[in-house]
Structure 1
């Protein structure tokens, strides 16, 4: 919560007052979810969380206006509740459908990565590395290698086998990402970053710029 508050304060220069107050209210509302549910949201990547949050706002914005002015319209309550209930149900249904669609598209994209060989099963991975299952488990536990879930199955990024990137350096950068979810780590390594000259961290490592990538990883983990 302290980190979130600091993030809001640092953004105050670029947000108008109304937007900043709305954002603070949204962050405050997250505290009412309880720690487990709040942490569940933090497991989503920035792209997922932002996308789903915008969908939710878009679906309920009209309903929010209805609730705000509902008290003043008490004289028509004999007919309005049923309409509002229907509107609410439709809004929730649309939001659920949008979330389900997003999850289906994400799963399809992840399965495509498996089909392309960008993600490997545990057996394929340790065989390619020439290590035992126990050694692989130790590397994952230490944070030097991470996994991602595709459905109910865990996979390993094939870029750990890339010959033009030093594996120890790659492991050190992975450790810099700390306890972020696997797909957030994947996003870090494969997405171009302005701080790296609009190249991906993998490309920067291949170009021999490990110090820059480590700094970028530390900043990414602190967001």
Structure 2
């Protein structure tokens, strides 16, 4: 095989990988799923036929369920994720978003989104925010109202309300299905063998048990 052909194949392969690395570009203005074929399920985002564009209305492109905080967990965090499952107008547009509210002292524990970069905007409050890159370097600071920070795709990031009042954060993703894995739950609440965890973290069986008992009921998911 000639060097020129090898280079061309390498470039083609890279382009294919980049194309697969994000949501596909839409091939029409919008695609409101036709309700007669069922609803989009959050876990799978099954592609459904679009209803005729002439049947679309302004209501298909307006979401009004973020005006107040969602239900708070025991950790003091409330989130309202918005994606094609609850806002069909987003379907095929390659984006989604979330409203997160944190009580004073509450955290959004370290987590990552395997399929999207996130841009987060502090609507109110003071929020310690940051991410860790692949060399384990931490990029973090306290964000105040109006500040914006980016969390690159696939990197662990976190937030903590360091003020004495509730805080509200708005996050936007460049995927309609970014996915989310909370690191504490992924490690201690997923069923990984205890012996491996003990060796990995230098913890005793009792400590592992306490971590599992403390995490799972709190529903960090």
Higher helix share: 1
Higher strand share: 2
> Larger RCO: Structure 1 or Structure 2 (Cα < 8 Å, ≥ 6 residues apart)?
2
TM-score (normalised: structure 1): 0.26
